[in-house]
């Protein structure tokens, strides 16, 4: 039986999300992702949340209210946090560890569903993955050790690479853990690791320009709203300074970067919307297990590879989910 037929067969029960708040104030879902509000990726995530909730029976402006916020740094995080008490959300849907940390510091009672967080247990957001406890649950991206995989892939594409810069906003909770994982792999491969912390676009350009003065370098771009929002700038800078680079989402090679390997973030947003639905229907976030990412994707930009004088191994192209020509 198709979903539409199933809903009709259930009659009044299936219609519950559409009518339960008809006599009172509809619940508010605060959708708060890291990144720039003007970034098309941020807007697409907002659209996915709205559409996924609609499919589950929650229609914005009718039986649920959706408020959207975006933030790039600690100052912007504080500005959103200052709104939470006045908004009085029923659920907060967050993306990235810095945003989750800011929301979690503000409230220990409002349910929070997160995406794109590496280690919520070590960071103190949940008690365990199976039984989160408290008011937080969600979806992880990968373990810190996964960062070593990016170095291995970059070295496979560029065997002559002897130096690698690691870029992320150093305020990110996972900065040191990612960096240590890369250093561990680099020591076995004979690759020198240079931290390249950056908090804004100017610092991004300055760090890449300084690192690009010497040959045989590459760049690992760690998960961060800073990197995602400035992906076109970073792609152009790494090309200008002849620095092969890798990031975690396919939006980077689509914006001119060389390659990416990581989770399908849009798929994770859809999964998170299901958790929001369950919480609005009465589920406790502390009883919903934290789930690991299940869908990964690899992408290459062959135009960028050619400009860098790189030939992507056929074995890697054969495994790619997208090859941009």
- Chunked into runs of 10 residues, the chain (325 residues) has average pLDDT values of 36 36 76 87 92 97 95 89 93 92 94 92 91 95 86 96 94 86 95 94 95 96 86 94 94 93 89 97 96 88 96 94 92
Strand positions, DSSP E, 108-258 = 112-117, 136-140, 163-168, 192-197, 217-221, 245-247
Looking at the structure, tell me whether residues 30 and 94 fall in a common domain: yes
Looking at the structure, tell me whether residues 286 and 305 fall in a common domain: no
Domains: count for the chain = 2
Looking at the structure, tell me whether residues 152 and 98 fall in a common domain: no
CA 256 to chain centre: 19
Q: How far apart are CA 97 and CA 64, in angstroms?
A: 26
The pLDDT value given to residue 13: 31
Backbone angles phi, psi at 107, to 5 degrees: -140, 135
Looking at the structure, tell me whether residues 242 and 268 fall in a common domain: no
Answer yes or no: are the C-beta atoms of 41 and 70 closer than 8 Å: no
Q: How far apart are CA 67 and CA 87, in angstroms?
A: 9
The pLDDT value given to residue 310: 95
- Return the ∠ at Cα 74 (arms to 265 and 29), rounded to 5°: 50
Looking at the structure, tell me whether residues 190 and 41 fall in a common domain: no
Looking at the structure, tell me whether residues 17 and 130 fall in a common domain: yes
Strand positions, DSSP E, 64-204 = 65-71, 91-95, 112-117, 136-140, 163-168, 192-197
Looking at the structure, tell me whether residues 245 and 124 fall in a common domain: no
Q: How far apart are CA 229 and CA 40, in angstroms?
A: 9
Q: CA dihedral defined by 191, 223, 169, 135, rounded to 10 degrees? A: -130
> Helix, strand or coil for residue 218?
strand
Answer yes or no: are the C-beta atoms of 87 and 66 closer than 8 Å: no
Distance between start and end Cα atoms, the chain: 42
The pLDDT value given to residue 296: 86
Q: How far apart are CA 169 and CA 28, in angstroms?
A: 31
Looking at the structure, tell me whether residues 51 and 136 fall in a common domain: yes
Which residues are within 8 A (CB) of 300 and not within 5 positions of it... i.e. 6 or more apart? 253, 258, 259, 312, 316, 317, 320, 322, 323, 324
Residue percentage of the chain with pLDDT more than 90: 68
Taking the alpha carbons of 229, 235, 240, 241 in that order, is the dihedral positive or negative? positive
The pLDDT value given to residue 24: 62
Looking at the structure, tell me whether residues 206 and 244 fall in a common domain: yes
Q: CA dihedral defined by 149, 154, 159, 164, rounded to 10 degrees? A: -100
Looking at the structure, tell me whether residues 205 and 309 fall in a common domain: yes
Q: How far apart are CA 60 and CA 74, in angstroms?
A: 29
- How far CA 32 is from CA of 84, 98, 103, 207, 230, in Å, comes to 11, 11, 9, 29, 19
The three state secondary structure string of 22-42 is: CCCCCCEEEEEEECCCCCHHH
Looking at the structure, tell me whether residues 135 and 161 fall in a common domain: no
Looking at the structure, tell me whether residues 43 and 76 fall in a common domain: yes
Domain of residue 244, CATH code:
3.40.50.2300
Boundaries of domain holding 42: 3-143+264-296
Answer yes or no: are the C-beta atoms of 286 and 133 closer than 8 Å: yes
């Amino acid at each position: 039986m198709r979903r539409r037929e199933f809903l009709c067969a259930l009659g009044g029960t299936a219609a519950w999300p559409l009518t339960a708040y008809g006599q009172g104030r509809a619940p508010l879902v605060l959708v708060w992702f890291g990144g720039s509000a003007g970034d098309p990726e941020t807007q697409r995530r907002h659209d996915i949340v709205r559409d996924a909730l609609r499919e589950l029976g929650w229609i914005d402006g009718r039986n649920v209210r959706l408020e959207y916020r975006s933030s790039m740094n600690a100052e912007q995080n504080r500005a959103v946090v200052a709104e939470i008490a006045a908004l009085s959300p029923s659920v907060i849907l967050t993306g990235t560890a810095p945003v989750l940390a800011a929301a979690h510091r503000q409230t220990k009672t409002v349910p929070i569903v997160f995406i794109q967080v590496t280690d919520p247990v070590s960071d103190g957001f949940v008690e365990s993955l199976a039984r989160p406890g408290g008011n937080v649950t969600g979806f992880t991206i990968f373990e810190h050790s996964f960062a070593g995989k990016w170095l291995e892939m970059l070295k496979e594409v560029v065997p002559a690479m002897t130096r690698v810069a690691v870029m992320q906003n150093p305020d990110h909770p996972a900065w040191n853990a990612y960096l240590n994982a890369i250093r561990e792999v680099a020591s076995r491969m004979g690759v020198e690791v240079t931290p390249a912390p950056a908090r804004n676009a100017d610092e991004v350009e300055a760090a890449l320009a300084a690192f690009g003065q010497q040959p045989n370098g590459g760049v690992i771009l760690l998960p961060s709203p800073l990197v995602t929002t400035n992906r076109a700038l970073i792609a152009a800078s790494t090309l200008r300074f002849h620095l092969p680079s890798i990031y975690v989402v396919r939006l980077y090679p689509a914006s001119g970067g060389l390659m990416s390997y990581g989770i399908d973030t849009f798929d994770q947003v859809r999964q998170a919307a299901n958790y929001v639905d369950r919480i609005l229907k009465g589920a406790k976030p502390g009883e919903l297990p934290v789930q690991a990412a299940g869908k990964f994707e690899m992408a290459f930009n062959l135009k960028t590879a050619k400009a860098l004088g790189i030939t992507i191994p056929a074995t890697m192209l054969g495994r790619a989910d997208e090859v941009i020509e």
